[in-house]
């Protein structure tokens, strides 16, 4: 136990929808999910998919988070074309990400590094899908014999068969590069780290570790230990994984690990994961050395622990094994697991995996201090899927950014809490909003990873020294979190039904290719393209698949000549209105709502300020008269203000019962302050009067008579 702190001074990454730490952090805050239908270019649906999990050699899940914008600049890196083609893309992705990490750490191109004492440890399993595919070239003899035998049973003679196979061979081999002097090194996992050392001329050692889905976090622990032991002065560590191919996807499907529906994490309905891919690398130094150099320190690694599950199953996690890794990590860190406020979990979304992880963390914290407040729990997999050998470092980057920004981020891919999180003695919770670190606790986080074979890794991190404590959330953080929503509004218009139908046809071809996050981008693009045409349509969609189905329904309505559809339940709206329609508001009475905050308050600052100004009771029975009436009126007032900000107002308004007060305010008879004060008084009076068996009376009178009656 050296007690040596290891500083994280640089980060580089390429994950779906994120090419930098800033992009990843903003995606986390905004809840962007990079999942899309698995492209046929990667795994042809007709060849490999089946809805029946029992179908041999097929998978049942349809979604993944894939890299779609990575191109390697081989000219910049001075890589020959033949070498590039013979080498698995994981090598080039890792090299590019390593270069990004060094730039971020202040070593552009490796300049300034102590090259003789800088090493690389990289997590990877099975190299990548491209080298696996390229091995098919060397399987030609087997294919040739198999085809020849099949043709012989059909009566083909040797001459016919030979001519056919001679024609087939070049077509079969065409997609795969010829085997040359670069092929072996380009298809091995251990040379990925060596390639980084080679390019930057590093002499501190370079090798790959394989702990399955724990690989990249295991590489961090290995690098930290190397620095603590004094065997290197700078280390690059992380992982790379490009393996969305039949071997891994179908393999995971046969273990039951892939999601059968939407991927949900730490959820009552956890049902498996959607795969992802990418790479992340960190630049590490001993903290004292980093401070002497004047380097920016994102956070410091204080402890790490590695364990195995012993006689536990090879492919299923064990809580006891994970707890052993926790004990070793915090024993090295020198502080207790109960002092950690945020955990970035492995979080695969499998029913067993989520339960095992929650149980292990909760039990460890309860044993350390039964009175400790619950800690937050999240996972990056809700955003980018399970990136396998690159998963642990993705979680560490997220946790490091959380510590750096001093913000506990809200979870993504979590809807209803897992039953273990609802227990009265629960030691963990999944945050739904951005939070500051508890003021009475240090800014510490823990990151977990688990892999096939029963390998567990946990890394403890803490805020960099001498940082001034944040006391309020940044405006940018608040705005990004406020933008989270579970559906998007796709707006369309045109000069006539035919032109609108053409636009719908274009979108039907586009939306199946979009990621969940890109549906929000599409909504923004469509809104900006509105022309004010008289034929208008709107779709409320929760996913690209949902959007595709509803756009197809809209197309059918247009083909049938429909010109007016208000499908509130279906989320489909269509109208042909040359002029602006009249709008009426109906403001609700006391029977409305159950006290939920609602998306409007989270999404719009004017709504939040309206609620804050009303100073409503936070607790109590939210449907009780004295609590409900001011709450409902405040909600209506907030809605009026939001709609006005969006350029929408009514021509007429009416109110039901309590809603009459809101209608008066909408008409200008009351301002917001008087409205909420009157609603509070009304609610209190009615709550008190009802205890005596009182009744409500209706007054039908003109203004003069009413004024006379209420004057005493």
Binned at pLDDT 50, 70 and 90, residue 620 comes out as confident
Pairwise CA distance, residues 654 & 666, whole Å: 9
Q: What's the chain's average pLDDT?
A: 94
CB 651 within 8 A of CB 584: yes
CB 463 within 8 A of CB 10: no
Binned at pLDDT 50, 70 and 90, residue 617 comes out as confident
Question: Does 592 score more than 80 pLDDT?
Answer: no
pLDDT digits (tens, 9 = 90+) for 507-521: 999 999 999 999 999
Phi, psi dihedral angles at 171 (to 5 degrees) = -70, -40
Q: Which is the catalytic residue, given 322, 386, 414, 418? A: 386
Least confident of 115-124, 162-171, 420-429, 551-560: 420-429
Pairwise CA distance, residues 105 & 328, whole Å: 29
pLDDT number for residue 368: 95
pLDDT number for residue 471: 93
The C-alpha torsion from 131 through 133 and 135 to 141, rounded to 10°, is: -170
* Residues in Cβ contact with 664 at an 8 Å cutoff, skipping those fewer than 6 apart: 655, 670, 675
Supply 394's token pair.
């993705």
pLDDT number for residue 699: 81
* 182-194: b (≥16 Cβ within 10 Å) or e: bbebbbbbebbbb
Alpha helices in 494-650 (DSSP H): 497-510, 516-528, 544-559, 599-603, 605-614, 625-645
Q: What is the DSSP string of 176-241?
A: SPPP-TTHHHHT-SHHHHHHHHHHHT--S-EEEE-BTBTHHHHHHHHHHHHHHTTS-SEEEEEEEE
Pairwise CA distance, residues 123 & 449, whole Å: 12
Tokens 């109208």, residue located:
575
pLDDT number for residue 594: 65
pLDDT number for residue 597: 62
CB 133 within 8 A of CB 245: yes
pLDDT number for residue 600: 85
Supply 493's token pair.
């218009």
User: Is 414 an annotated catalytic residue?
Assistant: no
**DSSP state for residue 695 in the 8-state scheme:** -
Pairwise CA distance, residues 467 & 5, whole Å: 16
Q: Among 169, 171, 189, which residue's Cα sits nearest to residue 87?
A: 189
pLDDT digits (tens, 9 = 90+) for 520-541: 999 999 999 999 999 999 999 9
Binned at pLDDT 50, 70 and 90, residue 684 comes out as confident
Mean pLDDT of 546-567: 95
pLDDT number for residue 365: 95
Q: Which is the catalytic residue, given 59, 91, 197, 213? A: 213
Question: Does 467 score more than 90 pLDDT?
Answer: no
pLDDT number for residue 692: 65
- pTM, rounded to two decimals: 0.92
pLDDT digits (tens, 9 = 90+) for 477-501: 999 999 998 899 999 999 999 999 9
pLDDT digits (tens, 9 = 90+) for 28-85: 999 999 999 999 999 999 999 999 999 999 999 999 999 988 999 999 999 999 999 9
Mean pLDDT of 241-256: 95
pLDDT higher at 503 or 706 = 503
CB 431 within 8 A of CB 477: no
* 454-485: b (≥16 Cβ within 10 Å) or e: bbbbbbbbbbbeeeeeeeebeeebbebbbebe
CB 587 within 8 A of CB 666: yes
Question: Does 1 score more than 80 pLDDT?
Answer: no
pLDDT number for residue 710: 82
pLDDT number for residue 690: 64
Pairwise CA distance, residues 244 & 75, whole Å: 27
User: Is 564 an annotated catalytic residue?
Assistant: no
Mean pLDDT of 173-185: 94
Pairwise CA distance, residues 624 & 679, whole Å: 13
Binned at pLDDT 50, 70 and 90, residue 371 comes out as very high
Question: Does 593 score more than 80 pLDDT?
Answer: no
pLDDT digits (tens, 9 = 90+) for 134-154: 999 999 999 999 999 999 999
Binned at pLDDT 50, 70 and 90, residue 623 comes out as confident
Tokens 């992982």, residue located:
239
Question: Does 273 score more than 80 pLDDT?
Answer: yes
CB 554 within 8 A of CB 538: no
Q: Which is the catalytic residue, given 59, 91, 346, 404? A: 346
CB 663 within 8 A of CB 654: yes
pLDDT higher at 596 or 178 = 178
pLDDT digits (tens, 9 = 90+) for 419-432: 999 988 789 999 99
Binned at pLDDT 50, 70 and 90, residue 624 comes out as confident
pLDDT number for residue 580: 80
Least confident of 83-87, 588-592, 642-646: 588-592
Binned at pLDDT 50, 70 and 90, residue 691 comes out as low
The terminus-to-terminus CA distance of the chain in angstroms comes to: 82
pLDDT number for residue 667: 94
pLDDT number for residue 384: 98
């Amino acid at each position: 136990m050296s007690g040596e702190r290891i500083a994280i001074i640089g980060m580089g990454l390429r994950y779906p929808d994120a090419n930098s730490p800033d992009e990843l952090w903003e995606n986390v805050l905004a809840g962007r999910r990079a999942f899309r239908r698995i492209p046929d270019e990667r795994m042809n649906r007709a060849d490999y998919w089946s809805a029946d999990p029992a179908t041999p050699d097929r998978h049942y899940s349809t979604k993944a988070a894939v890299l779609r914008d990575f191109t390697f600049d081989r000219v910049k890196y001075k890589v020959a074309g033949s070498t590039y083609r013979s080498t698995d893309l994981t090598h080039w992705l890792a090299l590019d990400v390593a270069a990004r990490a060094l730039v971020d750490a202040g070593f552009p191109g490796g300049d300034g590094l102590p090259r003789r004492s800088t090493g690389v440890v990289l997590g990877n399993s099975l190299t990548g899908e491209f080298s696996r595919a390229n091995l098919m070239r060397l399987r030609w003899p087997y294919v040739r014999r198999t085809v020849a035998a099949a043709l012989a049973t059909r009566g083909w003679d040797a001459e016919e068969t030979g001519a056919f196979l001679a024609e087939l061979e070049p077509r079969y081999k065409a997609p795969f590069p010829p085997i040359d002097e670069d092929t072996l090194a380009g298809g091995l996992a251990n040379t990925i780290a060596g390639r980084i050392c080679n390019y930057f001329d590093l002499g501190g050692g370079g090798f790959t570790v394989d702990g399955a889905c724990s690989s990249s976090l295991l590489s961090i622990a290995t690098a930290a230990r190397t620095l603590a032991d004094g065997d290197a002065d700078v280390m690059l560590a992380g992982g790379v994984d490009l393996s969305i191919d039949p071997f891994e996807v179908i393999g995971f499907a046969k273990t039951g690990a892939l999601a059968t529906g939407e991927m949900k994490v730490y959820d009552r309905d956890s049902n498996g994961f959607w795969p992802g891919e990418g790479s992340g690398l960190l630049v590490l130094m001993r903290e004292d050395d980093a401070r002497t150099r004047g380097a920016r320190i994102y956070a410091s690694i204080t402890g790490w622990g590695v364990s195995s599950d012993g006689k536990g199953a090879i492919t299923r996690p064990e809580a006891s094994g994970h707890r052993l890794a926790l004990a070793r990590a915090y024993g090295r860190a020198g502080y207790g697991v109960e002092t950690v406020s945020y955990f970035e979990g492995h979080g695969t979304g499998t029913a067993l995996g989520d339960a095992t992880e929650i149980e292990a963390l909760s039990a460890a914290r309860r044993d350390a201090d039964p009175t400790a407040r619950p800690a937050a729990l999240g996972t990056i997999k809700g955003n980018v899927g399970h990136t396998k050998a690159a998963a642990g470092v993705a979680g560490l980057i997220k946790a490091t950014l959380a510590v750096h920004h001093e913000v506990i981020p809200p979870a993504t891919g979590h809807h209803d809490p897992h039953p273990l999180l609802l227990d009265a003695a629960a030691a963990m919770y999944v945050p739904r909003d951005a939070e500051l670190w508890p003021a009475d606790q240090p800014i510490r986080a823990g990151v977990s990873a688990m892999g096939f074979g029963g390998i567990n890794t946990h890394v403890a991190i803490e805020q960099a020294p001498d940082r001034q404590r944040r006391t309020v959330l940044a405006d940018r953080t608040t705005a990004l979190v406020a933008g989270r929503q579970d559906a998007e509004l796709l707006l369309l218009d045109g000069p006539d039904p035919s032109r609108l139908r053409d636009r719908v046809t274009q979108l039907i071809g586009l939306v199946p290719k979009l990621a969940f996050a890109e549906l929000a981008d599409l909504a923004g693009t469509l809104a900006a393209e509105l022309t004010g045409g008289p034929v208008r349509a709107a779709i409320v969609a929760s996913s690209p698949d949902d959007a595709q189905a509803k756009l197809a329904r809209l197309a059918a309505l247009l083909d049938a000549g429909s010109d007016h559809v208000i499908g509130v339940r279906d989320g489909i709206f269509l109208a042909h209105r040359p002029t602006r329609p009249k709008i009426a508001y109906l403001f609700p009475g006391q029977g409305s709502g159950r006290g939920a905050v609602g998306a409007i308050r989270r999404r719009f600052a004017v709504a939040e300020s309206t609620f804050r100004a009303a100073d409503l009771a936070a607790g109590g029975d939210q449907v009780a008269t004295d609590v409900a009436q001011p709450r409902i009126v405040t909600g209506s007032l907030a809605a009026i203000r939001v709609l006005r900000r969006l350029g929408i107002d009514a021509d007429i308004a009416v109110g039901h019962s309590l809603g009459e007060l809101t209608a008066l305010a909408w008409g200008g008879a009351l301002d917001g302050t008087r409205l909420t004060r009157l609603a509070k008084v009304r609610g209190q009076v009615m709550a008190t009067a009802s205890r005596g068996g009182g009744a409500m009376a209706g007054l039908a009178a003109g203004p003069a008579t009413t004024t006379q009656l209420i004057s005493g």
